[in-house]
Amino acid sequence: MIEVRGLTKRYGPVTAVAGLTFDVPPGVVTAFLGANGAGKSTTLRMLLGLDRPTAGTARIDGQHYAELRDPLRTVGSLLDSSAPHPGRTARAHLRWLAASNRVPGHRIDEVLDLVHLTAVADRRVRGFSLGMRQRLGLAAALLGDPSVLLLDEPVNGLDAEGIRWLRTSLRRLAAEGRTVVVSSHLMSEVEQTADHLLVISRGRMLADTPLPDFLAAHSAARVLVRTPQARRLAELLTAGGAAAAVQPDGSLHVSGVGADDVSAVAARHGVPLLALGTDHRSLEDAFLALTTGADT
C-alpha cells in the first residue's frame, strides 16, 4: 500500500511535483502516466527516499522509505539510476545486491529464472542489450520478494516478446497481492496491463480512476455514415438531439447516438445507407486530449 499526501518537489524555479495526493492499493496494476517531464520519476524517487520532498509525505506500508528495516524486501524498484556496473556479470550484480540487503542467496537463481536470464547469468552486463538490462533490473527489483514494486518505464528497450512477458509478469505479481506501480508516457503501453490509472501533467493529478471508467469517459464513439442523402440525414439526426456533420468527402460524422440509432432513423425516413461504422477514439487520443487540455 502506498500513501502519498500533498507531495511537492521544487527544483529552484521548477515545480516538478505540485501537491500530489493518491493511494495505491495492493492486488492491482496501477499505471502512472504522464508526458515527458510530467513528474513521474521525481515522484517515484521521493517514494524511494532518493529525493527529499519540498512538502508533503510519501509512505510505503505506513512508513517513509528511510524507516523501512529491510527496504529491498519491502520495495523493489526499477529506475534509470539503478544501472548495474558494466564490468559485473548479471549474477555478480545480484549477488552483491543480495548480500548488502540480507536476501538469501537462493533468490538469485530464482529471479534469474523468473526474468529468463539464466543462460546469460555469467556474462558481463557490458554486452547486454537494452532489453536484457531491463530484465536484469526487474530481477533486482524482485530479489527481495517485495510486497511493493515501483517500475519506471519498464517497457523501454523490450521487444514484442519482452513486452508480452512483462505484461504477464506484472499481472501475476499483482494477483499475488503485491502493490504494482508502472510508469509510462504512453497509454498504449499500459492499456492492456493496468487496472487503475493515475494521470499526471506538470506535477498535478489529472485523473485517478479505474481504467474501464477512463475508457468509458474518454473514448467517445463516433458513427461514420455514407449515404447519398447526407444532408437530409444530418438534419433528421440533429432534430433528434444528435450532433451530425457532413464532411467535405460527403460522408457524415455523427456523435451522441449509436450506429443502431442512426440506422433506425434512416430506415424510418427511407434514407438509403451505403456504409455505417463506429470509430472508437483510441485511448492514446483520449490521454493526449486530457493532458493537452490541461496544459493549455
Ligand X SMILES: Nc1ncnc2c1ncn2[C@@H]1O[C@H](COP(=O)(O)OP(=O)(O)OP(=O)(O)O)[C@@H](O)[C@H]1O
Contact residues for ligand X (CB under 6 A)?
11, 14, 16, 34, 36-42, 185
Nearer to ligand X, 24 or 230 (CB): 24
Nearer to ligand X, 111 or 198 (CB): 198
Where does residue 62 fall: left (phi above 0), alpha (psi -120 to 50 degrees), or beta otherwise?
left
Taking the complex as a whole, the smallest distance from the CB of residue 34 to ligand X amounts, in Å, to: 5
Under 8 Å between Cβ of 51 and 8 = no
Parallel, antiparallel, or unpaired for β 55-60 and 14-24? unpaired
Taking the complex as a whole, the smallest distance from the CB of residue 270 to ligand X amounts, in Å, to: 55
Nearer to ligand X, 158 or 230 (CB): 158
Name residue 166's amino acid: L
Angstrom distance (rounded) from CA 138 to CA 182: 12
Taking the complex as a whole, the smallest distance from the CB of residue 155 to ligand X amounts, in Å, to: 12
Nearer to ligand X, 114 or 197 (CB): 197
Bridge partners of residue 150, in order along the sequence: 77, 181
Taking the complex as a whole, the smallest distance from the CB of residue 49 to ligand X amounts, in Å, to: 15
Taking the complex as a whole, the smallest distance from the CB of residue 142 to ligand X amounts, in Å, to: 22
Angstrom distance (rounded) from CA 169 to CA 174: 9
- C-alpha dist (Å) from residue 12 to 9, 120, 154, 203, 290: 10, 44, 29, 15, 28
Nearer to ligand X, 121 or 197 (CB): 197
Taking the complex as a whole, the smallest distance from the CB of residue 59 to ligand X amounts, in Å, to: 19
Angstrom distance (rounded) from CA 222 to CA 278: 6
Taking the complex as a whole, the smallest distance from the CB of residue 201 to ligand X amounts, in Å, to: 9
Nearer to ligand X, 199 or 265 (CB): 199
Angstrom distance (rounded) from CA 160 to CA 187: 16
Angstrom distance (rounded) from CA 151 to CA 77: 5
Under 8 Å between Cβ of 79 and 103 = no
Backbone angles phi, psi at 273, to 5 degrees: -110, 130
Nearer to ligand X, 41 or 193 (CB): 41
Under 8 Å between Cβ of 169 and 156 = no
- Residues of the chain by 3-state class (helix, strand, coil), percent to 5: 40, 30, 30
Taking the complex as a whole, the smallest distance from the CB of residue 73 to ligand X amounts, in Å, to: 26
Nearer to ligand X, 183 or 227 (CB): 183
